[in-house]
Structure 1
Amino acid sequence: MYIENNKMTRQLPADCLNDIFECLEENKITLHSCLLVNRQCCDIAVRILWRNVWYFQDNDKQRVSLSIISTLFACLPKGSKDHLQKNGIVINTPTQKSPMFNYASFCRVISISEIDQMVQYIFKEQPTPSLGSLNFNKYLLSQEILKMFMNQILSLKSLEYYLGYSQNITFTCLPEAKTCLMDLTELKCRSDIYSEFFYQISQICYNIQSITIELRDISNGLADLILKQNNLKSITLISISCDEENEGTKSLISSLAKFSLTLTKLKIIEFYIPLSFITIFKNLEELILSFELHPFDDFIQLQNINFSHLKVLKFLYAIPRVEMLIKFLEINGKTLTEFYVGDHNSKLNLAIAKFCPNLKILFTIFVEEELDTLETIFNRCQYLESIRVWCGDGYLNDKEFLDVLVKFSPKNFYELEIYYCSYHEPSEILPKELEEFFLSWENRISRRSLSLTIFNNTEGISLEANEENMKIIKKYEKLGLIKKFRIEEYDYDEDD
Structure 2
Amino acid sequence: MNLPHLCLENICLNLAQDSKTLHSCVLVNKQWSISTVPILWRDPFRHCKILRKPNKLVPLLNTYLSFLPSTTQKLLDITSIIGQRPTIFNYPVYLRSISVVLIHGSVEYWIDSRFGADSASLQRITSICQVLCEYFLCNSSGIDYLDLEYANWFDIFKLNGAITSLSSIKSVVIDDQRNFPDQFEKLSSVMKNAQYLRLSLRYRKNDTVCKNIVNLLQTQKFLKKVSLFSHVSDFFQDIWDTLASSQLLHKSLTSIEFHEATFDNSALLQLSRFYNLKHLKLYRCRNFIGEIQEINDSLIFQNLSQLIIYKIGMNPRILEFLLKRSNRSLNVLEFHDHVLNFHETVLWCTNFCQNLSRFVASIQVNQISDIILLFKECKKLDYFHIYDAKLLIEDEEEPWVEYRPPELELFQANELLKELGSCIPMTMRTIKIWMNWLITIEDIEEFISNCVNFGLNMKVLEFRHCKGFGNAHKEVIRNYLMNTVTNHFDYHFDL
Q: Same fold (TM over 0.5)?
A: yes
Match of 1:162 among 149, 158, 163: 149
Residue in 1 that maps onto 2:107: 119
| Cα shift readout 1:141-199 (whole Å, capped 9, x = no counterpart) | 11111112112222222111112432x233x2445334422221111111225133222
C-alpha spacing 1:474/1:91, structure 2 compared with 1 (3 Å) = farther
Match of 1:189 among 162, 170, 174: 174
Q: Secondary structure at the match of 2:198?
A: strand
Residue in 1 that maps onto 2:352: 355
Q: 1:13 offset after TM fit, Å? A: 5.0
Residues 74 and 99, structure 1, Cα contact 8 Å, conserved in 2 = no
Residues 386 and 414, structure 1, Cα contact 8 Å, conserved in 2 = yes
> Hey, what's the Cα distance between the residues in 2 that align with 1:118 and 1:73?
12
Residue in 2 that maps onto 1:365: 362
Match of 1:441 among 444, 448, 451: 451
Task: Please state if 1:339 is matched with 2:333.
Answer: yes
| Cα shift readout 1:278-320 (whole Å, capped 9, x = no counterpart) | 233232111111226x352335238877322211112111231
Q: Secondary structure at the match of 2:251?
A: coil
> Hey, what's the Cα distance between the residues in 1 that align with 2:488 and 2:7?
22
Gaps of at least 5 residues in structure 2 are: 389-406
Residues 304 and 328, structure 1, Cα contact 8 Å, conserved in 2 = no
C-alpha spacing 1:371/1:68, structure 2 compared with 1 (3 Å) = same
Amino acid across the alignment from 1:103? Y
Residues 387 and 416, structure 1, Cα contact 8 Å, conserved in 2 = yes
Residue in 2 that maps onto 1:262: 252
Residues 70 and 91, structure 1, Cα contact 8 Å, conserved in 2 = no
Q: Secondary structure at the match of 1:417?
A: strand
> Hey, what's the Cα distance between the residues in 2 that align with 1:48 and 1:484?
32
Match of 1:451 among 431, 456, 459: 459
Residue in 1 that maps onto 2:184: 198
Q: 1:335 offset after TM fit, Å? A: 2.8
Residue in 2 that maps onto 1:7: none
Residue in 2 that maps onto 1:410: 425
C-alpha spacing 1:468/1:137, structure 2 compared with 1 (3 Å) = farther
Amino acid across the alignment from 2:319? L
Amino acid across the alignment from 2:37? V
> Hey, what's the Cα distance between the residues in 1 that align with 2:13 and 2:478?
27
> Hey, what's the Cα distance between the residues in 1 that align with 2:194 and 2:453?
48
Residue in 2 that maps onto 1:282: 275
Residue in 1 that maps onto 2:378: 381
Residue in 1 that maps onto 2:221: 230
> Hey, what's the Cα distance between the residues in 2 that align with 1:486 and 1:198?
48
Residues 366 and 396, structure 1, Cα contact 8 Å, conserved in 2 = no
Residues 360 and 385, structure 1, Cα contact 8 Å, conserved in 2 = yes
C-alpha spacing 1:476/1:75, structure 2 compared with 1 (3 Å) = farther
> Hey, what's the Cα distance between the residues in 2 that align with 1:14 and 1:348?
50
> Hey, what's the Cα distance between the residues in 1 that align with 2:493 and 2:449?
25
TM-score calculated relative to the size of structure 2: 0.80
Root-mean-square deviation over aligned CA pairs = 3.5
Match of 1:41 among 29, 32, 37: 32
Residues 301 and 322, structure 2, Cα contact 8 Å, conserved in 1 = no
Count matched residues. Answer: 458
TM-score calculated relative to the size of structure 1: 0.80
Residues 304 and 331, structure 1, Cα contact 8 Å, conserved in 2 = no
| Cα shift readout 1:334-365 (whole Å, capped 9, x = no counterpart) | 43121112334122222222222221211123
Q: 1:113 offset after TM fit, Å? A: 1.6
Residue in 2 that maps onto 1:102: 90
Amino acid across the alignment from 2:137? M
Residues 362 and 387, structure 2, Cα contact 8 Å, conserved in 1 = yes
Q: 1:60 offset after TM fit, Å? A: 5.1
Residues 194 and 222, structure 2, Cα contact 8 Å, conserved in 1 = yes
Residues 101 and 151, structure 2, Cα contact 8 Å, conserved in 1 = no
Q: Secondary structure at the match of 1:300?
A: coil
Amino acid across the alignment from 1:282? Y
| Cα shift readout 1:427-452 (whole Å, capped 9, x = no counterpart) | 5345564455444334435x54x232
Task: Please state if 1:428 is matched with 2:420.
Answer: no
Report the identity percentage.
21
| Cα shift readout 1:399-446 (whole Å, capped 9, x = no counterpart) | 66654443212222223233x255xxxx5345564455444334435x
> Hey, what's the Cα distance between the residues in 1 that align with 2:161 and 2:289?
50
